[in-house]
Amino acid sequence: MKSLCLVFVFAIFLQCESKQFSRCELVHQLRSHGFPEDKMRDWVCLVESESSRTTHYIGKVNRNGSRDYGLFQINDKYWCSNTSTAGKDCNVTCNDLVTDDITKAAKCAKKVYKRHGFNAWYGWKNKCQGSLPDISSC
């Protein structure tokens, strides 16, 4: 019972540790990782609808058994390896995609985009084809 409680406390602690960017923090992160200015609002919209700008967010298991990881909710079927060794098309582990340093996630998201465009993300398809977030103050 005691150890179960400890696990709970630790889980809550981890939750608190996960980083949620403000909208402008996200814009600055994306800029520093070379995302183009003319698509910035689409990327911000995508990240907001996929992960609410939370770096450690891991989606629940999809119907087909795959899972989505991190800020960009990248799928483990093709892109990241859910074992401890790097692999699949982004040559990363899925754990690499849920860190506060978004270098690997950014690189992988660009790869997904290069292959499929924004249509790879349901979050973008469903929510980002009308009005886009205002980032004029960032």
Ligand X SMILES: *[C@@H]1O[C@H](CO)[C@@H](O)[C@H](O)[C@H]1NC(C)=O
Q: Which residues are designated catalytic?
A: 50, 68
Choice between 42 and 96, CB closer to ligand X: 96
Choice between 36 and 87, CB closer to ligand X: 87
User: C-beta of 98: minimal distance to ligand X in Å?
Assistant: 14
Q: Which of 106, 42, 111 is nearest to 79 (CA)?
A: 111
User: C-beta of 97: minimal distance to ligand X in Å?
Assistant: 13
Q: Which of 104, 103, 100, 121 is nearest to 112 (CA)?
A: 121
CA distance 18 to 123: 21
User: C-beta of 105: minimal distance to ligand X in Å?
Assistant: 14
Choice between 27 and 76, CB closer to ligand X: 76
Q: Which residues bind ligand X (CB under 6 A)?
A: 62, 64-66, 75-77, 82, 86, 91
DSSP state letter for 135: -
Whole-number Cα distances in Å, 109 to 3, 9, 103, 131: 38, 33, 10, 22
